[in-house]
Copies of this chain bind each other. A is one copy, B any other.
């Protein structure tokens, strides 16, 4: 089998940088496709296609406004991502603690070396 479809879930939808840019742009409020096209410097069809993916996973919603279509963010599906990643928050903090510990040990070892022999090797 090939790659999993990006339209599957928010994880995949958000893995694409352009789509994150679109969401970032929409975070300020509703925007039409043309606005996004200009903001992102992308061709209109590409923007529409990304918007479609975002729509299919529920990350954006549309509203008709004359001949334009106004898109807005629906952040709800991002909760799943946030929740999953959040479970690792403790881990990356622990990791930094470990690094700190190692640094402390090194510092202590060095200090001890200094007190034991004051050979003072330049560096």
Residues of chain A whose beta carbon lies under 8 Å from any beta carbon of chain B: 3-4, 6, 11-12, 14-17, 20, 23, 27, 73-76, 78-79, 81-82, 84-89, 91-92, 95-96
Known: A4-B16, A12-B15, A91-B73. A82 touches B79 (CB 8 A): no
Q: Looking at chain A's contact residues, is the secondary structure mostly helix, strand, loop, or mixed?
A: helix
8 Å CB contact of A88 from B16, B73, B91, B92: B73
Pairs A–B under 8 Å by Cβ, sample size 6 = A6-B15, A11-B20, A14-B15, A20-B84, A73-B91, A78-B88
Rounded to whole Å, the gap between the CB of A102 and the closest CB of chain B is 14
Q: Is the CB of A87 within 8 A of B27?
A: yes
